[in-house]
Chain A
Amino acid sequence: MGEAIVITSGKGGVGKTTTTANLGAGLAKAGNKVALIDADIGLRNLDVVMGLENRIVYDLVDVVEGFAKLKHALIKDKRFENLYLLPAAQTRDKTAVTPDQMRDLVGQMKADFDFVLIDSPAGIEQGFKNAVAGADKALVVATPEVSSVRDADRIIGLLEAQEKHKPFLIINRIRADMVKRGDMMDIDDMIEILAIELLGVVPEDEAIVVSTNRGEPAVLNPQSRAGEAYRNIVRRLQGENVPMMKLEDDAGFFGRLRKLMGFKG
């Protein structure tokens, strides 16, 4: 029986879909059988971020309504033997499925996959409720900005009220130079305010834009600092104890780390 993990945030544009794509690709590369579910019905994007937009035949709503079989709707990623995407419907809205239907679907998928990652839509309404319904674990993505942290706090409150497993925090798009100047909240500030366990810290990285342009997750790029951060989170999701990377400028820790990675392989 696999584990279902929802990636959520409250606020839009903080990196839920990018996080889902990268963790999914990273987990699959590590040998796990992985399914990604795009729960953002009406505003699907996980397909383009994964580079699979041209291969959609059926979607999540087709499966839930019994119009298509799950195995026919799942798109197999060509880069990995064991990575699949269940895309969202683009022409329907969030009310096309219910939390109960999502719970059933995710339960069914957990029997076939090691990890089922669910990309939640922004907001706290039905789309969010659908996305979290079948999840065993929740990852809350937040950037070091007041609006994102405030919305993350709201989401954490809702998750805790549902008595789900304690949510984990992923700090996204942090900038070491701004933290150093005192113009951006740092990791400790955010943990102190949100009071949840930290799963990972992803630095701001131009490679994310480039990799999204190409539809190739940055986790596969050994040169990318964000990719390295995602690889660490993947290892933590598999139960490994990986120390947090120190947040330093380009030439510092990350630079050395990249060199090290280069030598390794």
Chain B
Amino acid sequence: MFDLFAKVFGRDDASKEVAKERLRLVLVHDRTSLSPQAMENLKNDLLKVISEYMDIDDQGFRVDFSRHDDAMALVANIPIRSVKRKSLSQ
């Protein structure tokens, strides 16, 4: 029964889903000519700038490309530990 269900609705672990996800990422880098190293540099620079204004969680910090319909977006997910008092009271 599960097999039939999986066949009809598609499985998340189907290897084509893995292929699509890997392609999606590799093509973003190919199309923007940004290497994974360049992305890492971008992330570190962003981290540096934003840290001047607030205390952020650099472990949870994520920068990635995301696709919405035809448009590409650079999405940064930046968990904030605390907003620095100084920047609030200046």
Shortest distance between the CB of B30 and any CB in chain A (Å): 6
Q: Could you tell me which A residues sit within 8 Å of B by CB distance?
A: 145-146, 149-150, 153-154, 157, 179-186, 189, 193, 195
Complexed CA–CA distance, A189 and B17 (Å): 9
Given contacts A146-B22, A146-B23, A189-B16, is CB(A182)–CB(B31) below 8 Å? no
Q: Are A150 and B14 in contact (CB under 8 A)?
A: no
Main secondary structure on chain B at its contact with chain A? helix
Number of A-B contacts (CB under 8 A): 42
Q: Among B11, B15, B23, which residue has its beta carbon within 8 angstroms of that of A150? A: B23
Shortest distance between the CB of B4 and any CB in chain A (Å): 12
Task: Kindly list chain B residues whose C-beta atoms are within 8 Å of the C-beta of A153.
Answer: 27, 30-31
Tell whether B79 is near chain A: CB-to-CB under 8 Å.
no
Q: Are B19 and A182 in contact (CB under 8 A)?
A: no
Q: Could you tell me which B residues sit within 8 Å of A by CB distance?
A: 6-7, 10-11, 14-17, 19-20, 22-24, 26-27, 30-31, 70
Find the A residue at minimum CB distance from B13: A182
Task: Kindly list chain B residues whose C-beta atoms are within 8 Å of the C-beta of A195.
Answer: 70
Q: Are B27 and A181 in contact (CB under 8 A)?
A: no
24 CB < 8 A contacts A-B? A145-B19, A146-B22, A146-B26, A149-B23, A153-B30, A154-B30, A157-B30, A157-B31, A180-B7, A182-B6, A182-B10, A182-B11, A182-B14, A182-B15, A182-B16, A182-B17, A183-B14, A183-B15, A184-B16, A185-B20, A189-B16, A189-B20, A193-B24, A195-B70
Shortest distance between the CB of A248 and any CB in chain B (Å): 14
Complexed CA–CA distance, A180 and B70 (Å): 27
Find the A residue at minimum CB distance from B10: A182
Task: Kindly list chain A residues whose C-beta atoms are within 8 Å of the C-beta of B17.
Answer: 182
Find the A residue at minimum CB distance from B11: A182
Q: Are B26 and A183 in contact (CB under 8 A)?
A: no
